[in-house]
Amino acid sequence: MEAMLAAWVMKMYKINLTPTTDQIATRGRRLMQLSSLVSVPLPSRYWVTAFCGRNYLSVRKAAGLDTQRLLAAGDVAQITARLEDLEQVYNMVCVPEVIEDRAKGLIGRPALRFRDCPHRIYNDDEAGLQHASARHGRRFVAPKGVKMPYIPCECNRESVTMLCWGNATGECMSPIFIWQGKTYPQNYLANTASSGFTPACRAKQDSHMMDGRVWVGCLAWMATQIKGGVSPTNKVLLIVDGHTSRLTCEGVDEARAVGFEVMVLPGHCTHFVQPWDKVFGAFRKKYEDLYVAAALTRKGSFTLSKLMWLSLVCSALRNMVDDTPNIHKGAWKKTGLWPLDKVVVLAAARGASSAAEAWLTKPVVEVTDADVLAILTIPMDRTGQQLAAARVAPVRKIRQLLRITCCITSDEIAAQRLATPPASPPPGS
């Protein structure tokens, strides 16, 4: 039984979807239940460690996000293999053949495949939002001479996750909001009808982040919103990222039972291959504009109720769709997922790999003791431009020297000045 679990771990590692210890514990419990047909508690982390030791595996920390994106974008073989899998899925039958039967009033129709039905190919992604000022962290304009202007700020920093989804024809579906708490008042969605969307809300007690349990509820609700219905014989393709909530046992089982054919994108490649990643930027701009307009109508008050805030978010999504109707459909074409274009995807992967590699491998500034001594003895009122004009050191060296190197303190510099004898005057002076 452990050999099957170890083989699954190696398979997931080879496709850049390395499982977490929680996923291994969940899979292990499921295998134990199938073998013993009794309820088994979730294995502890000590069992996971022992399992890794018995099967030549080890528990490791993940690399940094930039490093993972560099390695994933440079793995052309892995991306090509996933595109081939996606091409096979596009050739699958999504709507079965209908045999003509005049007695029952049935009109004959051939079987339809996903490549012929872009309206049955969906992509989803989450975005984190704050029930607070949209201008937090931005630059502000104030009278000249004011160093730190007072900025009115929302005291409530509650975070919310918004799940957006849409199909390859460019249709944007109603979003799903995930709140932290045991439940949510039903009147939260009272003012969203004017935007044309009918969103749903899900409550999660410990946090607002997506997990397997919330994902199961989202799948059931999404199936009710798709035109034509969803069933095991009337399938819909759902292209998702490699988030752990999509890979849980209950999430996979629910998707299969409802009628979703789930396709996972290559790991750490969603920044250039997922359509919704190309859309969120335009949405946030619309959201900021509406937030500022709402603050002006309320005479500068940035305090918005949750009921008004949800209406504002849905209105921003509607304005984005109305002002740029082809933005979502263009995102599918730009990423190369519809129509499927391997050349576009691989070109984007090479571009992302080159950009990440240039950022990660940028040359390190050489620092010498003379540079440190020269910078620390400079009067504090001189600006960076004056330092560069005086050719003391490159401007970008200054912070690196003061914050990273800084091996000579001001006391040591004063001691060196006292220990150094003054230069003898030139003859004849």
Q: Could you write out the three-class secondary structure of the chain?
A: CHHHHHHHHHHHHHCCCCCCHHHHHHHHHHHHHHHHCCCCCCCCHHHHHHHHHHCCCCCCCCCCHHHHHHHHHHCHHHHHHHHHHHHHHHCCEEECCECCECCCCECCECCEEHHHCHHHEEEEEEEEEECCCCCCCCCCCCCCCCCCCCCCCCCCCCEEEEEEEEECCCCECCCEEEEECCCCCHHHHCCCHHHCCCCEEEEECCCCCCCHHHHHHHHHHHHHHCCCCCECCECEEEEECCCHHHHCHHHHHHHHHHCEEEEECCCCCHHHHCHHHHCHHHHHHHHHHHHHHHHHHCCCCCCCCHHHHHHHHHHHHHHHHHHCCCHHHHHHHHHCECCECHHHHHHHHHHHHHHHHHHHCCCCCCCCHHHHHHHHCCCCCCCHHHHHHCCCCCHHHHHHHHHHHCCCCHHHHHHHHHHCCCCCCCCCC
Could you tell me what percent of the chain has a pLDDT over 70? Answer: 68
pTM, to two decimals: 0.73
Which tens digit of pLDDT belongs to each residue from 216-244?
999 999 999 999 899 999 999 999 998 88
Mean pLDDT of 318-329: 92
Instruction: Tell me the pLDDT tens digit for each residue of 327-341.
Output: 999 999 999 999 999
Say whether pLDDT at 13 is over 50.
Answer: yes
Tell me the pLDDT tens digit for each residue of 76-113.
888 888 899 999 999 999 988 877 766 766 677 789 99
Q: Is the pLDDT of residue 417 over 60?
A: no
